[in-house]
Structure 1
């Protein structure tokens, strides 16, 4: 039976991404004084910068912060709770002196930007998911934060608040195209790498220790009578613990293969467009700034077409993502008993060997087709760079946060399913409750419990290695395919 650790018990968290950082921070705030986070990537040196090699999903220039969740009201409420923290973090950073901030942050940084979220439909009607979102927000007294495009009352409210410029940022109406959807004034984006850097800084201030780089690379669990009692790292060190929390993101299923029925590592595709220098194209920099351009979804991001993007960054980069196909990468993984498993694993610079940043030809075509229809001014620029962003999808898109069955020393904290980052400031609050109350779970603990599902949708996990999403079965895009020429065909 799982027994919660004492306040002085040694606790090890494997993974310094959003889930691991949040867990560490809230454990420290709850009075746990001996918490250590380990991770293979040297985040303290590179400030979670993808330009410097960081390639976990949590390390990114931006992530969507949305509070719209269809019928999933528990996530909606948790997202609104997190918003208070994001606002407070912005304030804390702005009030800090430069020398008080960690490497990679400055007082003028705004890690959470409330630029709004435009959710566009492809078929000139609102989806069932969109209708459910509006119903739930209305039930919570939040209908006035949503603006249905073309609704006279909503248009009037938007004009009074100066929001209408974000209703058609792609100028579809000017080009004679239809425009249907909802503008969400509560949402926007967070600068993910800077958010993680800030969260690590706060955790260190709260007494959390970090072991990063080669010394933080976990190689195996330590076991005693079948119970996890610590980890071994690549430098040969044995780190004993009364509790190990596995929060390794996309690497989680390959570290604990028994999770494979619940979790699958999948890649989303990302393309970057670099604007010309600001002095050469001031009108583009102004148009695509967060002040004028919202985060957007085209036909549904989490559900549907799987396309969406962001305003420009401070360096003039526009990021467009494609999750319409979630690619897998199956390799042989050997568990602690020596048994082999075929499991999808990340294909990045950190596992198990360096990989080139290629996206599939399918993803490149989908993104280019979207740009040609909606942002034709970017076509002449071409794609400047790309990335496969590796997530961990659960069988039902709910997180997996629970004690591992029959192991009183191990807790899983994973399954972000592409929507977990927004909860960075607050998720650990619920993780602590799950750790401290293994048999008396609240509504979040029940939703995220270790589970199986034999009937109904399984989020693609039933495809396995025989499915069509396997990366080795895809044609990969070359730099020639990044260009907007009609010669690049599937």
Structure 2
């Protein structure tokens, strides 16, 4: 590295999403005085997967030591850190599946490690009684479930991320936002091959002692990850509720079917119920000459028509009274998978002043309160060796095309979906979304 790290070192964070905000917060809490975050959008970034009304907060698989450490740190943050505690809703969690293989997967990966935390739901009546009368009215045909009543639930994602950014700014971090000023177009390389800063869309160069890439699914546009990242998208829809309905649904447990989807109580501001379509993910494949295909993220306030149908089918099984309601908001949101879903948080092997914080693999938001602390440990050379090994630079995992790997996910025919296949069937857009692109009507 060019210089020894000090509290006065110039540190640039590329990306003002979940991990970027967390890293800025932890660095400024450690008294770093020169932290700058670049993003094309103000927090919460319009293309950040964390810019959402709510995210599921669930217990992870504690079989691996690293998972135990990460879960303990995240849980401590959501339960004890005053920046984050207001946004954690400890309402419980219902996990379910239908096919024999999915039921077995849930039992192997989730239930057997926390068997004492769950009680089983094996009848439609059991599911319906898990919530107030009138919430779950479906037939739950073929469903098998497990209910954990506490220590899990959901968090208000957008508010938690904004709170982290505001506290970081109060402690001295600078947020540079805007399509020209905040959009990093390329990295600045010195003659020695190291990274010396970034160049933004307005043509300005910004020099730094360390550059941290926390750009989510957009990270491969700045750095060659040698096929270690796969930008993958999931789809969500919101339904506007009446005040009376919102009161009825308040504090219900999250209900998550590993092959169909999940929904969470309406948020307190817009009174919108969020429903997600569960599947192994969408990719947007672009073929390259003499190279492996790449998935290029294209965030948008629309969802494929097939996803909209699956969301309505999920509602017909759980809450059919909502199944034909109009969607008030829709979104296709992008994360970045790694081949084994372990994070990729490490110094670049050829550019030692470049720190990579990538590969959230669909479970990055859970770690908002704590992930920036681990990035800071890495920056300071103090990252736990077991975590560093898990998160290492590992191009051997991407030597062949792994883009169709399910990574343990189910739903929608149990295959990775191709966004290009949606061109013929069209897209569906929420009636309140500002981007009024042409949509299909179901």
Please, what TM-score do these two structures have when normalized by structure 1?
0.75
Alignment of 1:137 with 2:114, yes or no, is yes
- Confirm or deny: 8 A CA contact 1:254 1:344 kept in the other structure: no
Selected match of 2:381 from 429, 437, 454? 437
Task: Specify the alignment match of 1:59 in structure 2.
Answer: 51
In structure 2, what is the Cα distance between the partners aligned to 1:458 and 1:340? 13
Please give the secondary structure, in 1, of the residue aligned with 2:310. Answer: helix
- Confirm or deny: 8 A CA contact 1:2 1:403 kept in the other structure: no
In structure 2, what is the Cα distance between the partners aligned to 1:123 and 1:244? 46
In structure 2, what is the Cα distance between the partners aligned to 1:147 and 1:480? 38
Q: 1:317 to 1:9 in 2, by over 3 A?
A: same
How big is the shift at 1:179?
A: 4.6
Please give the secondary structure, in 1, of the residue aligned with 2:113. Answer: helix
- Confirm or deny: 8 A CA contact 2:3 2:209 kept in the other structure: no
How big is the shift at 1:202?
A: 1.2
1:41-440 matched pairs, under 5 angstroms? 41-43=41-43, 48=44, 54-69=46-61, 71-72=63-64, 74-89=66-81, 91=82, 110-123=86-99, 126-137=103-114, 143=116, 145-149=117-121, 164-165=130-131, 170-172=136-138, 175=139, 177=141, 179-184=143-148, 185-213=150-178, 214-224=180-190, 225-256=192-223, 258-275=224-241, 277-278=242-243, 282=244, 284-290=245-251, 293-298=252-257, 300=258, 305=259, 307-314=261-268, 315-330=270-285, 343-348=294-299, 357-437=301-381
- Confirm or deny: 8 A CA contact 1:117 1:296 kept in the other structure: yes
Please give the secondary structure, in 1, of the residue aligned with 2:164. Answer: helix
Residue ranges of structure 2 left out of the alignment (5+ in a row): 408-414, 432-439
Q: 1:481 to 1:122 in 2, by over 3 A?
A: farther
Please give the secondary structure, in 2, of the residue aligned with 1:42. Answer: coil
> Over residues 171-216 of structure 1, what are the superposed CA-to-partner deviations in whole Å (9 max), with x where a residue is unaligned?
45xx484552211221111111111110001111222221111311
In structure 2, what is the Cα distance between the partners aligned to 1:365 and 1:326? 16
> Over residues 309-336 of structure 1, what are the superposed CA-to-partner deviations in whole Å (9 max), with x where a residue is unaligned?
2111122211111241411224589xxx
In structure 2, what is the Cα distance between the partners aligned to 1:2 and 1:461? 39
In structure 1, what is the Cα distance between the partners aligned to 2:186 and 2:401? 33
Residues 78-87 or 195-204, more deviating: 78-87
- Confirm or deny: 8 A CA contact 1:218 1:233 kept in the other structure: yes
In structure 2, what is the Cα distance between the partners aligned to 1:326 and 1:229? 35
Task: Specify the alignment match of 2:410 in structure 1.
Answer: none
- Confirm or deny: 8 A CA contact 1:23 1:431 kept in the other structure: yes
Q: Number of residues paired by the alignment?
A: 416
Residue ranges of structure 1 left out of the alignment (5+ in a row): 95-109, 156-162, 334-338, 349-354
In structure 1, what is the Cα distance between the partners aligned to 2:225 and 2:157? 26
- Confirm or deny: 8 A CA contact 2:234 2:332 kept in the other structure: yes
In structure 2, what is the Cα distance between the partners aligned to 1:126 and 1:70? 19
Please give the secondary structure, in 2, of the residue aligned with 1:215. Answer: coil
Alignment of 1:447 with 2:371, yes or no, is no
- Confirm or deny: 8 A CA contact 1:38 1:216 kept in the other structure: yes
In structure 1, what is the Cα distance between the partners aligned to 2:103 and 2:27? 42
How big is the shift at 1:126?
A: 4.2
Task: Specify the alignment match of 1:21 in structure 2.
Answer: 21
Please give the secondary structure, in 1, of the residue aligned with 2:206. Answer: strand
Please give the secondary structure, in 2, of the residue aligned with 1:259. Answer: coil
How big is the shift at 1:401?
A: 0.3
Please give the secondary structure, in 2, of the residue aligned with 1:370. Answer: helix
In structure 2, what is the Cα distance between the partners aligned to 1:416 and 1:93? 20
Q: 1:266 to 1:40 in 2, by over 3 A?
A: same
In structure 2, what is the Cα distance between the partners aligned to 1:468 and 1:397? 15
In structure 2, what is the Cα distance between the partners aligned to 1:320 and 1:92? 27
In structure 2, what is the Cα distance between the partners aligned to 1:232 and 1:259? 19
- Confirm or deny: 8 A CA contact 2:53 2:157 kept in the other structure: yes
- Confirm or deny: 8 A CA contact 1:358 1:477 kept in the other structure: no
